């Protein structure tokens, strides 16, 4: 999938548009599998929230992956994509007991992360298998916006509440078949992750009938040339050895589970936008594109970096540009970024647009959400149409006022 392929896609389908390279997704999936080859039982559950298009979910179903879901709607998407419910784990936060019960009735693995719901669910459904999410109070990444394992996180049951947790399990006689943690995104130090894993192993020893231990994910991917990333191969070597040792002491082979999202799809995604206008002020040259944070909010929300390339003029002389959108807010994708010379009508390609990009898009300013393309075996396949005006008004019910509404 080179620049000419991307340019042809914008010519045929328009812009802005998301494009996903299936070969990169497949290679990332196999890379993770290979890193943990020593483990007898490995399960990779793709985190649906990263990119929830049905065609992407179908690809993971064909690869043999499971799904990590956080809402009943994501569960339903997985089922619609052909995923067997036994291959789906449901890890919500702050949802009602009724939603959890509705998902459990579908045959999906339940993962509960607070004591109140755990006690209620265990009392009403003691035979339904339940995984328990633990908060190890460890930040494996450095950004509190995307790290969820710290002590003030709303996610998981604190390790300091294990005695209370065990009383609930004993009193309800509930069926606990898994233990889970997720420290957050952008894991930098493998030793910190391994330290958190030891906490999970210690917790797991309290339960005699486990089938799996889920270590979450949060593997960091590179966002620019030379950027640091999680060393999956080193993690695989060290954690596989430790997991095998634990299984021997536990008395049976458990399944080692992960739930990667960004690692599998981030680098596979390109976001393509057309330059509407070049605007020069006394100090800045703006390249205004036909998009905004309604389509790609991560730079504004998280301060995330996406490399931007002018694929219409890849060999041009570099200049400094601030790439901005057309939303009536400050929606800056990049400030004073070195990019090859840009002219109006050029196509800019944003890297790392596979994860948490389209899935966080909105209709702010009443703009349409863009189309999505899957690049598969050298061809571009439309997997989501660009929205139109009917999509904006669908579901709205016009209220009919009288001739004089002020009376």
Query: What's the gap between Cα 364 and its chain centre?
Result: 22
- Note whether 368 and 315 are same-domain residues: yes
Question: Is residue 152, in this structure, part of any structural domain at all?
Answer: yes
- Note whether 216 and 364 are same-domain residues: no
Question: Of 212, 240, 264, at which residue does a domain stop?
Answer: 264
> Can you tell me the distance from the alpha carbon of 35 to that of 157, in angstroms, rounded to the nearest whole number?
29
- Note whether 319 and 258 are same-domain residues: no
The per-residue pLDDT for range 160-207, each reduced to its tens digit, is 999 999 999 999 999 999 999 987 656 778 888 899 999 999 999 999
The per-residue pLDDT for range 252-281, each reduced to its tens digit, is 999 999 999 999 999 999 999 999 999 999
- Note whether 143 and 289 are same-domain residues: no
The per-residue pLDDT for range 281-324, each reduced to its tens digit, is 999 999 999 999 999 999 999 899 999 999 999 999 999 999 99
> Can you tell me the distance from the alpha carbon of 310 to that of 316, in angstroms, rounded to the nearest whole number?
9
pTM: 0.93
> According to the model, what pLDDT value does residue 294 have?
97
> According to the model, what pLDDT value does residue 145 have?
46
- Note whether 220 and 340 are same-domain residues: no
Contact criterion met (CB below 8 Å) for 236 and 279: no
Tell me the DSSP string of 191-206: HHHHHHHHHHHHHHTT
- Note whether 260 and 282 are same-domain residues: no
> According to the model, what pLDDT value does residue 151 have?
57
Question: Is residue 5, in this structure, part of any structural domain at all?
Answer: no
Tokens coding 40: 């007898």
- Note whether 308 and 195 are same-domain residues: no
Question: Is residue 16, in this structure, part of any structural domain at all?
Answer: no
Q: From the candidates 2, 163, 252, 328, which is the catalytic residue?
A: 328
Contact criterion met (CB below 8 Å) for 155 and 132: no
Helical segments of 205-315, H only? 232-250, 262-265, 298-301
Helical segments of 49-183, H only? 54-63, 72-80, 97-104, 115-124, 162-172
Reported for 158-161, long-range contacts at CB under 8 A and 24+ positions apart, including other chains, are 159/134, 159/135, 159/199, 159/203, 161/115
Contact criterion met (CB below 8 Å) for 100 and 110: yes
pLDDT confidence bin for 403, thresholds 50/70/90: confident
- Note whether 143 and 217 are same-domain residues: yes
131 is catalytic: no
The per-residue pLDDT for range 119-133, each reduced to its tens digit, is 999 999 999 999 999
- Note whether 240 and 256 are same-domain residues: yes
Question: Is residue 9, in this structure, part of any structural domain at all?
Answer: no
Segments forming the whole domain that contains residue 297: 269-385
The per-residue pLDDT for range 40-87, each reduced to its tens digit, is 999 999 999 999 999 999 999 999 999 999 999 999 999 999 999 999
- Note whether 280 and 248 are same-domain residues: no
Question: Is residue 303, in this structure, part of any structural domain at all?
Answer: yes
Question: Of 264, 297, 317, at which residue does a domain stop?
Answer: 264
> According to the model, what pLDDT value does residue 190 have?
85
**What mean pLDDT, rounded, does the chain reach?**
94
Which run of H or of E encompasses 301?
helix 298-301
Phi, psi of 105 (to 5 degrees): -65, -20
Question: Of 209, 234, 264, at which residue does a domain stop?
Answer: 264
- Note whether 309 and 180 are same-domain residues: no
- Note whether 86 and 212 are same-domain residues: yes
Please state the domain count of the chain. 2
The 8-class DSSP code of residue 403 comes to: S
Question: Is residue 401, in this structure, part of any structural domain at all?
Answer: no
**196 to 181, 188, 244: CA distances (angstroms):** 9, 13, 17
Question: Is residue 15, in this structure, part of any structural domain at all?
Answer: no
**Domain of 30: which CATH number?**
3.20.20.10
């Amino acid at each position: 999938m080179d620049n000419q392929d991307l340019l042809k896609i914008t010519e045929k389908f328009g812009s802005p548009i998301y494009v996903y390279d299936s070969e990169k997704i497949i290679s990332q999936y196999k890379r993770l599998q290979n890193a943990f080859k020593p483990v007898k039982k490995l399960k990779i559950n793709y985190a649906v929230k990263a990119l929830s298009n049905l065609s992407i979910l179908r690809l993971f179903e064909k690869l043999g992956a499971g799904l990590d879901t956080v809402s009943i709607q994501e569960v339903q998407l997985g089922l619609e994509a052909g995923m067997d419910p036994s291959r789906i784990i449901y890890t919500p936060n702050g949802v009602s007991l009724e939603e959890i019960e509705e998902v459990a009735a579908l045959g999906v693995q339940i993962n509960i992360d607070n004591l109140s719901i755990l006690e209620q669910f265990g009392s009403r459904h003691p035979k339904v298998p339940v995984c328990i999410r633990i908060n190890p109070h460890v930040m494996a990444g450095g950004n509190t916006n995307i790290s969820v394992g710290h002590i003030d996180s709303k996610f998981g049951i604190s390790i300091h509440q294990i005695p209370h947790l065990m009383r609930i399990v004993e009193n309800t006689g509930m069926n606990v078949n898994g233990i889970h943690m997720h420290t957050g995104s952008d894991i930098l130090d493998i030793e910190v992750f391994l330290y958190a894993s030891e906490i999970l192993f210690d917790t797991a020893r309290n339960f005699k009938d486990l089938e799996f231990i889920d270590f979450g994910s949060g593997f960091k991917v590179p966002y620019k040339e030379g950027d640091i990333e999680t060393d999956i191969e080193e993690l695989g070597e060290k954690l596989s050895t430790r997991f095998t040792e634990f299984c021997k002491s536990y008395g049976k082979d458990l399944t080692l589970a992960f739930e990667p999202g960004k690692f599998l799809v981030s680098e596979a995604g390109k976001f393509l936008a057309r330059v509407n206008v070049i605007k020069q002020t006394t100090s800045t040259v703006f390249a205004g594109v036909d998009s905004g944070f309604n389509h790609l909010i991560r730079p504004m929300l998280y301060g995330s970096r996406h490399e931007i390339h002018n694929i219409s003029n890849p060999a041009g002389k570099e200049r400094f540009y601030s790439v901005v959108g057309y939303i009536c807010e400050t929606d800056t994708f990049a400030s004073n970024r070195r990019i090859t010379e840009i002219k109006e009508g050029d196509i800019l390609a944003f890297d790392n647009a596979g994860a948490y990009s389209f899935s966080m898009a909105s209709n702010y300013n009443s703009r349409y959400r863009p189309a999505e393309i899957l690049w598969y075996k050298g061809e571009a396949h439309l997997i989501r149409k660009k929205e139109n005006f009917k999509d904006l008004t669908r579901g709205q019910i016009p209220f009919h006022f009288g001739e004089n509404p002020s009376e």
